[in-house]
A and B are shown apart, each in its own frame.
Chain A
Amino acid sequence: GQNIDQPTEMTATEGAIVQINCTYQTSGFNGLFWYQQHAGEAPTFLSYNVLDGLEEKGRFSSFLSRSKGYSYLLLKELQMKDSASYLCAVLDSNYQLIWGAGTKLIIKP
């Protein structure tokens, strides 16, 4: 079966750095997405990785290792508004998105 694993919940301090991991086992791979979802709101796109390596976008970076079936989302200089759920999703060989359950990130002052 297809599976995406990510921690259920993480806590970090304002101004710090946090890394949210995602591991996957899917039938094929055509890219990995990270989405952010604030409580009661729509998921919004953060990043897309299809090649190995690190993609940086401002305070957020996403890393992919296809050989290890592993990705992480790195958030720097955390702000209170970063409190949200972070969803990892993999595009499989049929170009269908397989979703993780999401990681709820709590930022403390």
Chain B
Amino acid sequence: ETGVTQTPRHLVMGMTNKKSLKCEQHLGHNAMYWYKQSAKKPLELMFVYNFKEQTENNSVPSRFSPECPNSSHLFLHLHTLQPEDSALYLCASSPGGGDYNEQFFGPGTRLTVL
């Protein structure tokens, strides 16, 4: 247990569906991250929130929409996804603001887009 939980763990959706991924951290951290992990590829940073403010959006398509209502919760809203969006979506948190940036990861949501 890393103190970061993600739901659902598995999700299958059609290209016309709308769904949301949820992440919650119980570590008192101030920074939260969404990553995409595809097989045999480096982790791709999608979004970063620091003290609830979005600080990074790495050219992510608009069909992915993040939401951070407070420092403990992070959502990723999905709509009209493509099959190539199938991947493991990882959430992470870190203390935030400092130089040393060890990140604590959740177990991920395995997303399959049909």
Contact = CB atoms under 8 A, between A and B. Distances in A.
Interface of A: 4, 8, 30-31, 33, 35, 40-45, 48, 87, 89, 91, 95-102
Interface string B86-114: 00001000000001111111111010000
Contact of A33 (B4, B99, B102): B102
B2 interface: yes
A95 B107 CA distance: 23
Given A42-B90, A44-B2, A101 B40 contact: yes
Q: Is the interface of B mostly helix, strand, loop or mixed?
A: loop
Given A48-B100, A95-B99, A8 B40 contact: yes
B60 interface: no
B104 A45 contact: yes
Interface residues of B, number: 20
Given A30-B99, A96-B56, A97-B101, A42 B106 contact: yes
B103 A31 contact: no
Nearest to B58: A96
15 contacts: A31-B100, A33-B102, A35-B105, A40-B107, A42-B106, A42-B108, A43-B43, A48-B100, A48-B102, A89-B43, A97-B43, A97-B101, A98-B42, A101-B42, A102-B40
A99 B107 contact: no
Contact of B101 (A8, A87, A95, A102): A95
A42 B41 contact: no
A102 B56 CA distance: 23
A44 B90 CA distance: 12
Contacts of B106: 42
Contacts of B41: 101
Contacts of A97: 43, 45, 101, 103
A73 to B, nearest CB: 16
A94 B43 CA distance: 17
A41 B103 CA distance: 15
B101 A42 contact: no
A13 B45 CA distance: 34
